[in-house]
Amino acid sequence: MWIAYILLSIAIAATLSSCVFLALAMLGAAKFHRDARRELRASETVANRLPPVSLLKPVHGREARLKENLESFFRQDYPEYEILFAADTEENEALPVVREVCARHPQIRTQVIVTGRPPWPNPPSYSFYKMAELAAHDILVTSDSDVEVQPNYLREVVPPLLEPNVGMLTCVYRGKNVGGFWSAVHAIGMSVEMTAGVVTANLLEGMKFGLGPTIVVRRDALNKIGGYSVLGEYFANDFVIGNLIEKAGYRVVLSRHVIDHVVSPLTFRRVWEREVRWAKSTRWSRPWGHLGSGLIFAIPYGILGFLAAAALGRIWLGVSLLVIAIGNRLIEDLVIGWGVTRDSRARDASWLYLIRDLLGFFVWCASYVGQRTVWRNIPYELVGEGRIAMRRDLPESEVQK
């Protein structure tokens, strides 16, 4: 019986903490909208003096909607920009698509670079390093190959970099599902769970990190931290670059622009592997913040509270805890998923986020199991402070495909 009392106490405390987090996320959302209005007014004053920029885009394989994703960067309503693409080998399946899209837009200056096998544990960092050497301009826009943007993308992400004290800008993103059920669960986590954490961090301490789908950096700020080469041994290079630039005395800005992060068809296993890999990265990059994030989930504690209260004969207390947990997640889904990222699935299928919240808790638990992970079919080991080392001693059976 005493075990049930302990579990009930844990459930009540965690339900309260998840409600506190919801309140902070709502305040963070309000700040996001307030900052967006201020950013819009500021961008209007520089609309006629936008500088040329270089877009740096590493590609890896033939991802879902790759052609459509790349096309969106060629349709920018922006006076002058170039796009550089980087692949590790000439056999990379993305290159024919890249060259086809480039040929259709001869008015845009492009370069395609074959970098060779990266000598650093973090392949994208090496790609950015090689592209930055050839980039013609001093504002560098990096983005993943699995994102799609609107024609006003550059007009919205570049102007804040014209302020001398702003060294970097990054964007939140919504999951754009092109797969099945588990892909949808994964996508709603991007739109709601990830974004809720970002706007809350921005509220409490300001931006001290970046988000991979888009990072815009000024070359002088990048040079001050040592360039892309300092990121080569880190797993979460997007987190680290923002952290280093903020420590170097520059501001990191969260843009009002929201990116579409395209989610390919994924099985449950692939979703699990991907999310555990991300969670392990966060665990090593922000250990205390990641530990505390175990108390922001609601559904698992609502279920725990219901079961513990039922075992003690307090069924109405259990029902109340479960209802509070469900209401908590539905509010967060609408305020963040629809209110901030404008994800229509968050508005029309809120029940998906209830499943995502439960899955997220088990992912968080799994992030504390072991130091190994697999990225792009290459085994790595987390070795401390967010750094990674490639493992060459693992049998093929341990490398996840």
Boundaries of CATH 3.90.550.10 in the chain? 48-265
Angle at 281 between CA 32 and CA 259, to 5 degrees: 35
* 285 pLDDT above the threshold of 50: yes
* Token duo for residue 269: 């296993």
- Mean residue pLDDT of the chain comes to 90
Please tell me the predicted confidence (pLDDT) of residue 397. 42
* 45 pLDDT above the threshold of 70: yes
Which of 148-157, 194-203, 210-219, 276-285 shows the lowest per-residue confidence on average (mean pLDDT)? Answer: 276-285
Please tell me the predicted confidence (pLDDT) of residue 372. 67
Its CATH architecture, for the domain 48-265, is Alpha-Beta Complex (3.90)
d(CA 76, CA 186): 28
* 392 pLDDT above the threshold of 60: no
* 395 pLDDT above the threshold of 50: no
Q: Euclidean distance between the first and final Cα of the chain, in Å?
A: 45
* 229 pLDDT above the threshold of 60: yes
d(CA 278, CA 267): 17
* 19 pLDDT above the threshold of 70: yes
Segment 59-80 shows an average pLDDT of 93
- Residue whose C-alpha is closest to residue 381's, from 288, 253, 281, 290: 281
Angle at 326 between CA 289 and CA 293, to 5 degrees: 5
Based on the number of CB atoms within 10 Å of its own CB, is 2 exposed (0-12), middle (13-18) or buried (19 or more)?
exposed
Please tell me the predicted confidence (pLDDT) of residue 156. 94
% the chain with pLDDT above 70: 92
* 391 pLDDT above the threshold of 70: no
Q: Within 13 Å, how many C-alpha atoms sit on residue 339's CB side? A: 19
* Token duo for residue 394: 């693992």
Please tell me the predicted confidence (pLDDT) of residue 1. 77
* 141 pLDDT above the threshold of 80: yes
Segment 29-34 shows an average pLDDT of 97
Answer yes or no: are the C-beta atoms of 306 and 325 closer than 8 Å.
no
Please tell me the predicted confidence (pLDDT) of residue 286. 79
Confidence of residue 166 (pLDDT cuts 50, 70, 90): very high
pTM value surpassing 0.75: yes
**Amino acid, single-letter form, for residue 398:** E
d(CA 188, CA 186): 6
* 271 pLDDT above the threshold of 80: yes
Cα 370 from chain centroid (whole Å): 23
For the chain, what is the radius of gyration of the CA atoms? 22
Give the three-state DSSP class for 141. strand
Segment 70-87 shows an average pLDDT of 96
- Residue whose C-alpha is closest to residue 84's, from 143, 133, 147, 131: 131
Please tell me the predicted confidence (pLDDT) of residue 396. 41
Q: At what angle do helices 299-311 and 2-44 cross, to 10 degrees?
A: 160
